[in-house]
Amino acid sequence: MDYVCIDEVQDLTMRQIGLFKYVSHNVEEGFVFSGDPAQTIERGIDYKSEDVQQLFYNDFMQEIEGGGKISKICQLSLNFRTHSGILKLAQSVTDLLCHFFPLFCDVLSVHVASGAHYRSTCHVSTDVVLYNLFGSSPMKNQWRIVYKYMKGRKLLDNSFISRYPQFKPARHNILCSELKQLYVAVTRARQRLWICENNG
Rounded to an integer, what distance in angstroms lies between the CA atom of residue 32 and that of residue 38? 19
pLDDT at position 124 over 70:
no
- pLDDT of 194 reads 92
pLDDT at position 8 over 60:
yes
Question: What are the pLDDT digits (tens) for 170-184?
Answer: 888 889 889 988 998
- pLDDT of 122 reads 52
- pLDDT of 95 reads 92
Q: What is the average pLDDT across 9-24? A: 88
pLDDT at position 36 over 90:
no
- pLDDT of 117 reads 47
Show Cβ contacts of residue 38 under 8 Å, excluding neighbours closer than 6 positions: 90, 93, 94, 97, 105, 108, 180, 183, 184
- pLDDT of 30 reads 82
Reported confidence tier of residue 37, pLDDT bands at 50, 70, 90: confident
Helix count and strand count (H, E) for the chain:
5, 6
- Alpha carbon of 88 to those of 75, 83, 111, 161: distances in Å? 17, 9, 8, 24
Residue 108: closest CA among 117, 97, 100: 97
- What mean pLDDT value characterizes the chain? 80
Backbone angles phi, psi at 35, to 5 degrees: -175, 170
Question: What are the pLDDT digits (tens) for 47-65?
Answer: 777 888 888 888 877 766 6
DSSP for 164-194, please give it. -PPP-TTTSTHHHHHHHHHHHHHTTEEEEEE
Rounded to an integer, what distance in angstroms lies between the CA atom of residue 187 and that of residue 181? 10
Q: Contact, 35 vs 9, CB < 8 A?
A: yes
Show the beta-strand stretches assigned E in 53-122. 78-79, 112-113
- pLDDT of 68 reads 61
Rounded to an integer, what distance in angstroms lies between the CA atom of residue 63 and that of residue 80? 38
